Every structure is written in C-alpha cells, then in structure tokens.
Amino acid sequence: MSKDSGSIMLALLTGAAIGAGVGILYAPDKGDNTRKKISKQARKTSDDIVSRISHATDELTKTAEAKKLDFEARLDKTISNMSYKADDIILGLEKKLEDLRKKNAQLQK
C-alpha cells in the first residue's frame, strides 16, 4: 500500500465517521441514546482504523522483507560475476606476463 493510498483510506474513514456522527446527531432520539450511539460508532471506527493500519503495516513489512531478500540475491549474483571476471583478468595478465618473460629471455640470448 502506497503512502497516497494510506492517506486516501484514512480520509475516507474519517469522512465516514464524521458522516455517521452527524447522522446520529440529527436523528430524533434521547440525548443518552445519542451519546451511546456516538460512542459505539467512535469505537467501531477506531477499531476499523487500527485494523487497517495493522494490515497495512504487515503488508509493508512483507514487501520490505521481499525487497531485502531480492537485493541480497542480486548482490550475491553481482559479486559472483565480478569474481569470475576478476579471475579472467588475472589469467589474461598472467599469460601476458609469461609472454613478456619469454620475449625478455629471447632478447637476453
């Protein structure tokens, strides 16, 4: 879930809670009943927000862990490839050094 999606979700939940609260306030009922309804709706909305935040946190944690594992795998592969290339370079340099030694030996004769 992206940061924008989380903000939109929070805005929608907040709007729904405010709308429910306004609806309860305008409903013809006793003050005590109205307060109970508002309290119940506030708890319900709060629980819903906590649940959604918890779910979003879990999803972000899973995504971050997957990205970390992918990065580590790519890093290992890159290091392995670099190692093979370094070995190839070293072998090439050793061959050139051996060729130079042979030429030097021929020149010294």
**Which helix (H) or strand (E) element contains residue 100?**
helix 31-108
Tens of pLDDT, residue by residue over 23-62, are 767 766 677 787 787 788 888 888 888 888 888 889 999 9
DSSP states of 43-96 as a string? HHHHHHHHHHHHHHHHHHHHHHHHHHHHHHHHHHHHHHHHHHHHHHHHHHHHHH
For CA atoms 96, 100, 102, 103, the dihedral sign is positive
Residue 88 clears pLDDT 80, i.e. is over it: yes
Query: Taking the model in full, what pTM does it have?
Result: 0.48
Average pLDDT in the 92-105 region? 91
- Average pLDDT over every residue of 80-86: 86
> Is 104's pLDDT higher than 60?
yes
Across all residues in the chain, what is the average pLDDT? 84
Question: Mean pLDDT throughout 9-24?
Answer: 77
What is the average per-residue pLDDT within 79-106? 89
| 59-75 pLDDT tens trace | 999 999 999 999 999 99
For residues 13-20, average pLDDT: 78
Q: Are 49 and 15 in contact (CB under 8 A)?
A: no
- Other C-beta atoms closer than 10 Å to the C-beta of 27 total 10
